Every structure is written in C-alpha cells, then in structure tokens.
A and B are shown apart, each in its own frame.
Chain A
Amino acid sequence: MTNKIQWEFPQALEDEAIYILRETAAQFERPAILFSGGKDSITIVRLAQKAFYPGKVPFPLLHVDTGHNFPETIQFRDWLVESLGLDLRVRYVQDSINQGKVQEETGKYASRNALQTVTLLDAIEELKFDACIGGARRDEEKARAKERIFSVRDEFGQWNAKMQRPELFDMLNGKIGMGENVRVFPISNWTELDVWNYIRREKLEIPSIYFSHERDIIERDGMYWPHSPFLNTTEEETPFRQKVRFRTVGDMTCTAAVISEADKLEDIISEILEAKISERGARIDDKRSEAAMEKRKQAGYF
C-alpha cells in the first residue's frame, strides 16, 4: 500500500460529532466539557461552537488542574476562554491533596495522573454535572475502543465494560438515575490524523508545545522527559537542551517529548503519517501495565 499523505478531513465525522453535541445539550440538564487544553478538547470546543451557532456554546468548560501542567497549556486555555467568551470552571488536584483525599506519589515516577480522578469526581458532584463531554477517541487505546458514545457511570464514576448500553444507529439514550452521570465522546470515531486534519482545515490555534521548540529534557527508559520542578530526578539524570515537540498534552510528569523540527501543521501531519511510535506510546501513564487505561477507566477516569 502507498503511504500517500491524506490531507482531507472526512466531513461525516464533523456531522456526527455535531449531532452528538446537540443530543447532549437536549438530553441533559447540566452538561459540561472536560477541557484539558490538548488538541482533542480544543477540537470539541470548536465543534460545540459550530453546533449551536449563531447561539452560544451551551456548556461550561471544566478543567481539572493537576498543578503539573505545561505553563503554555494554561496560557492557551485562558486565551481561548477569553476569545470565545466561554465559561471556565477550574478545580485543583492540590485542593484534594490538602483535604487529605489523595496522597502525592513518591519516587522518580511520581505523577498526579491517577490523583486527578478524585478531583474530577468531586467536581462533578459539587457542580452537579450530569454529563461530561470528553475528547477521548476509540483509536487511542484498546479499552477505549470498546467505549460508547454515551457512557453511563455510577456515582463513583466507574465504567463497567460488561454492562454497557447497546447503541444502535444514531439513537442515543442518555436517561440516567439519581447519582449517575454520563461521559460523552463526540469524537469517538476520529483518529489522531483526523484531528490534525480538522485543526488544519478549521485553522485552529493550539498550544505552542505541539510545535518544535528548544527545551531542557532528560532521558529515561528510552524516552525524553521534559525537565521541570515537578519531575523527581536522580543524580545521573542531567538535563540537556534539545529541539523537541509534544504529540499529546498531559502533565509535565507523564508526557514524553519527541525530537522534532516540525514547526508547521503540515510538518506535524507528515510526521504522524510516518510516525514510528503510536500517540499514546508517548504517554508514560499508559506504560504502567498492559491494562493501565482499562483500570483507570473503571476507577472513573475519562
């Protein structure tokens, strides 16, 4: 097969996502967008803008701030909210730590990735959100490949893979009982390439860390980790300057960089087409075990 570059975005995917967002607005009382500042949640915001135009986006954004974000992501988030006139709510993992609900991990692999689930579930309860829209995609990981568009969670946010509601044709059933809530995944059927082609077609702004830039990194386990005050390093791990970019935006403690000169969207897309590593392969949090994502989903993660 050829490896010819496919630049064209499949329009059917946008139509489907807009349909799902309109169903979410209609079927729930207090839906919200889970916003991470990454390309997938930026795509969701764009879709929401288009779905209700010329009306306003009918959802607030919820950002669970781990305190370990890339500063560029936070700057971008605030810029986006300001320029589109969105309603942003932020809840902090640090608060959950201070309340004694979760404990900071220790050791050189310490991250706040698992901790954010608790902050998220508390925020859902506090703000009474009955539906949370996320940018997760089925192509990312094999547990996500089995996820529904409307994924019903119990009051502990748990995903029960064996008890999922069948979803037939385009009919979405968002009926839930007291305490339950739903995670909504409008771009379930998009691939990483689809997202990039969409960002390119829609001329969307994205955080600068997606593009090639100079940064202090360390090498660990064959991956490049961004050096930051949040990363526990050993004495042998000395930071060095390198031109890198990030393929996904997670915490600074669990997102690996790739060495890259790509500073335009076109270059990024070409890179993905030739990529030797899968997208979540750059997520250190997924490497903990083969079933890492499935376990986190059962615990109430996206």
Chain B
Amino acid sequence: MEVLRITTSGSVDDGKSTLIGRLLYDTNSIPQDKMEALHAASKRKGLDFTDLSLLTDGLVAEREQGITIDVAHIYFSTPTRKYIIADTPGHIEYTRNMVTGASNAQVSLILIDARKGIVEQTYRHFFIACLLRIPYLVVCVNKMDLVEYSEARFNQIVEDFQQLIAKAPFKAPSIKYIPISSIYGENLATRSEKISWYSEESLLEYLEQITFDHADSSHPARFKVQSVIRPKTDAYHDFRGFAGKVVSGHFNVGDEIISLPSLQKSRIKTIEQFETKLTTAEARQSVVITLEDEIDTSRGSMLSRPENAPSLLKEIDAQVCWMDQTRLVPGKTYLLQHGVNRVKAKVQQIQHVIDVTSNTILEDKKELGLNDIGKITLKTAQPIFADSYDANPANGAFILIDEMSNSTVAVGFVA
C-alpha cells in the first residue's frame, strides 16, 4: 500500500481545519468517542453544529488562541492508500513550519477563501511549493457556499492564480483547481451536486489517482551509507554490509558502483532486507548492500554508479530558508548535514534575500533572519556529494546546525 504525503497551508479562518476534519469524517476516520467529544466541545463554545475544525487543534496555547502554532500530523486511509497530512500554520511567522511540513510532501494543498481571493499568504504558500519542487499542487477555492457557488468568481480566482504561475521563480508544479465548500463537504470526498458547472474530480478523487514511480530511472542512483554491519559471529564471520537508504533511482545486484569520497569501485554482491535477498532496491528503501570487494566505505559515504556519480562539492551556492531566532552570521562556521553526512561549512556570502510575497530579489539586503529566504555561498571543509536540488531533489537538500546551540538553523537547496 502506498503512502501519500500532503502538506496544507492556509490563512487564519480560511477553513483549513474544517477541510481536514471533513476529509476525516467523510472517510470514516473519526471514532465515535472522538466524535462525541467534538459534539460536546462545540456545544461548550455555543455552536449549534459540530465544529470539525476542533479535531486538529492540539496544544493548549493553540486552543486558547484558536490558531495553529506547529506542524501537526494527521492520518487517514482509504482502500487505495494511506494519507499523511502535515498541517502547518499559514502566518508569516511560521514560514519555517511551512517549509518543514512541505519538505516531505508530494502534494501541496493551498486554500483560498472564495470571498477574498488571492491574499498575501497565498503568494508565500505558492513560493514554498515551488521552492521545494512539490510535484503536485491543489488549489482549493473554499467557501464557495458564501459566493453562491459562482462559476465566475471561481474562474476569476483561477485566472489570478495563473498570473502568479507565470511569474513562478522555479518550475511550477502540476496544478489542479477545485471549487469546494469544506463546511458542507462539497467536492471533498464526493462530487458536488451544488457546483454542477464543475464536472471534474472532487478533492479526494483527485488525490486517489495521483501515481508515483519511486524507481524513477530519470533520477541517478544514490545510496547513503548509515553504518557498516560487521556481526563478527561464527555464521557471519566475514560479513561486511552497508546499511543505508536508497536516496534516488535504483540499484540492481551486479551493478558496478563507485563509493564517494574514496572513489573506489566495486560491484553489488547482494541487496538484503533482513533475511530476504532482493535483486533490486529503489528510492526510499532501507536495505543492506554487500560488495564484491573490500573498499573504503563508511558512515556518510555515498554509493552511486560511475557514469552518473555526483560531483564532490566544496563551494556551494544554495537557496536557504533561515529557521532560527539567531540571525545568520557571515564568516561563522556551521555544521552542514547533507543526508547523514556532516561537514563543517563557512558562509562566504549572502548573495541576496527574496521577498517571498512580491517574489522580488532584494540585492541590497545582506541579512538572513528567522523565516527569511535567500541565496548564499558556502565553503565546506570536506566535499559533499550533492546534486542540484532542481535536478534531483532527494539528494539536493541539506540543513545547517549551529554548533553552539545544536539547533537546526536553516535548510538549504543546492543551486
């Protein structure tokens, strides 16, 4: 069974929590006792209907303020697949949470209030979806009930959004527009009868038909080594296996490989998953690989094929999203973590900062603080084995760690 990961963003009051609550309700994902708790909580708030949005607000501070602070994870499944929603706040202060939620998503779901149309936060959501190269974007025009299910209003918003795409800073994802009313469940799980002028899929129908090719041969084969398994028992006296994860593409038994950074070559002898021997391993699989020869490979090494191995990078241009209260200090040494590999890195230069809302480059701004997105140049002490994020997202991102606080202060995308 496949897992589809979705990130949602929205402004305060645009009905995001209601939409999620409604999806759970329509897929029979809310147990009866939780439903009763919702009835009771809605009544306490003086509401005469069951407020499904109450299902997703978690922390005490959030309940008090009626907002979402952090990334919340919500789960539901259909007979087709399992869904994981990373529900993130839409406000500018939470850009870092939006980026975090989006980092594992295959689908970005953007909500627009039909009455208000595109607002400042829509630009930010769209920019982040593009920056992270999320393959699928669904624009839900919500609260259609409050604009009398007007086709003209929907078309106007679609048109406005298309102008946004024309100016997209990166390759725009595949986009689907759906008119919905989350409070009444119109076009969520099933097609709406009220919105008869729209004859395409409902939200869930659309999500159900999205497909992925994880073995994706258009992406180069990359395997990150997490550890070396050497049992040294009688039965496995000479066993030396590399435990790790296929980052992108796929590997077959018998393939010639090159190990980075040692640049030594060998062939894959076995691919193992516990007691099972596999013939092939594809992106996202955790396996153990053994090689024909004893070559220099350890934690942080990367296996790839000789013909399309990543280059060894020491000078890196990257887009970064800054995620810490403490500003980026040019010239300071941070720890750069690419996959499981950590190296020291010094920020050489802040090239520019991007005003995400207006999508303009601020050439003169040379400061990066919390929630800022910009472009920097880094120099590392040892090379990393990254691809450009655009060419191979799974091997193109890194994080920066502040060695003083140990905090994750930034995420970067290799240019």
Residues of A near any B CB (own CB < 8 A): 1-4, 6, 8-16, 18-19, 22-23, 25-26, 49-56, 138-139, 142-143, 145-146, 161-162, 164-171, 173, 175-177, 188-189, 191, 193-194, 275-278, 281, 291, 294
Known: A168-B100, A175-B403, A191-B75. 13 other contacts (CB 8 A): A1-B78, A11-B1, A12-B284, A18-B286, A22-B244, A26-B299, A53-B229, A55-B230, A56-B231, A138-B73, A171-B398, A277-B31, A277-B32
**Within 8 Å of chain A (Cβ to Cβ): is B318?**
no
Contact A278 B239 (CB under 8 A): no
A sample of 25 cross-chain residue pairs with beta-carbon separation below 8 angstroms, ordered by A number, consists of A1-B28, A2-B79, A6-B1, A6-B79, A10-B81, A15-B285, A16-B286, A19-B226, A22-B286, A26-B340, A50-B273, A139-B75, A143-B59, A145-B72, A146-B59, A161-B61, A162-B69, A165-B408, A166-B96, A168-B100, A168-B397, A169-B103, A171-B340, A175-B401, A277-B33
Q: For the complex, what is the distance from the CA of A298 to the CA of B401, rounded to whole Å? A: 25
Q: For the complex, what is the distance from the CA of A16 to the CA of B244, rounded to whole Å? A: 11
Q: For the complex, what is the distance from the CA of A162 to the CA of B89, rounded to whole Å? A: 13
Contacts of B339 in A (CB 8 A): 171
Chain B, residue nearest A298 (CB): B60
Q: Which of A55, A173, A188, A194 contacts B229 (CB 8 A)?
A: A55
Chain B, residue nearest A139 (CB): B75
Q: For the complex, what is the distance from the CA of A13 to the CA of B82, rounded to whole Å? A: 10
- Which 5 A-B pairs rank lowest in CB-CB distance, beginning with the nearest? A142-B58, A276-B32, A278-B31, A175-B406, A18-B286
Q: For the complex, what is the distance from the CA of A200 to the CA of B233, rounded to whole Å? A: 30
Q: For the complex, what is the distance from the CA of A137 to the CA of B145, rounded to whole Å? A: 37
**Within 8 Å of chain A (Cβ to Cβ): is B316?**
no
Contacts of A10 in B (CB 8 A): 1-3, 81-82
Q: For the complex, what is the distance from the CA of A194 to the CA of B83, rounded to whole Å? A: 12
Contacts of B73 in A (CB 8 A): 138-139, 145-146, 188-189
The dominant DSSP class at the A interface is loop
Contact B286 A169 (CB under 8 A): no
**Within 8 Å of chain A (Cβ to Cβ): is B399?**
yes
Chain A, residue nearest B241 (CB): A54
Q: For the complex, what is the distance from the CA of A143 to the CA of B26, rounded to whole Å? A: 24
Contact B75 A138 (CB under 8 A): yes
Chain B, residue nearest A46 (CB): B274
Q: Which of B82, B244, B323, B397 contacts A166 (CB 8 A)?
A: B323
Q: Mark B271-289, 1 if CB is under 8 A from A, else 0.
A: 0111100000000111010
Chain A, residue nearest B58 (CB): A142
Min distance, Cβ A220 to any Cβ of chain B, angstroms: 16
Q: Which of B32, B273, B337, B406 contacts A176 (CB 8 A)?
A: B406
Contacts of A143 in B (CB 8 A): 58-59
Min distance, Cβ A299 to any Cβ of chain B, angstroms: 14
Contacts of A169 in B (CB 8 A): 103-104, 397
Contact B103 A15 (CB under 8 A): no
Q: Which of A15, A53, A166 contacts B408 (CB 8 A)?
A: A166
**Within 8 Å of chain A (Cβ to Cβ): is B70?**
yes
Known A168-B99, A281-B31: A54·B77 in contact at CB below 8 Å: no
Q: For the complex, what is the distance from the CA of A161 to the CA of B245, rounded to whole Å? A: 30
Contacts of B323 in A (CB 8 A): 166
Contacts of A8 in B (CB 8 A): 1
Chain A, residue nearest B55 (CB): A142
Chain A, residue nearest B246 (CB): A15
Contact B75 A3 (CB under 8 A): no
Contacts of A53 in B (CB 8 A): 229, 272, 274-275, 288
**Within 8 Å of chain A (Cβ to Cβ): is B84?**
yes
Contacts of B134 in A (CB 8 A): none
Chain A, residue nearest B274 (CB): A50
Contact B3 A12 (CB under 8 A): yes
Q: For the complex, what is the distance from the CA of A177 to the CA of B407, rounded to whole Å? A: 10
Q: For the complex, what is the distance from the CA of A175 to the CA of B81, rounded to whole Å? A: 35
**Within 8 Å of chain A (Cβ to Cβ): is B373?**
no
Q: Which of B28, B243, B245 contacts A52 (CB 8 A)?
A: B243
Min distance, Cβ B345 to any Cβ of chain A, angstroms: 14
Chain A, residue nearest B226 (CB): A22
Contact B58 A145 (CB under 8 A): yes
**Within 8 Å of chain A (Cβ to Cβ): is B166?**
no
Known A52-B229, A171-B339: A146·B58 in contact at CB below 8 Å: yes
Min distance, Cβ B30 to any Cβ of chain A, angstroms: 9
Chain A, residue nearest B27 (CB): A1
Min distance, Cβ B6 to any Cβ of chain A, angstroms: 13
**Within 8 Å of chain A (Cβ to Cβ): is B130?**
no
Contacts of A193 in B (CB 8 A): 77
Contacts of A12 in B (CB 8 A): 2-3, 284
Chain B, residue nearest A11 (CB): B1
Q: For the complex, what is the distance from the CA of A13 to the CA of B83, rounded to whole Å? A: 12
Chain A, residue nearest B32 (CB): A276
Q: For the complex, what is the distance from the CA of A169 to the CA of B340, rounded to whole Å? A: 12
Contacts of A145 in B (CB 8 A): 58, 72-74
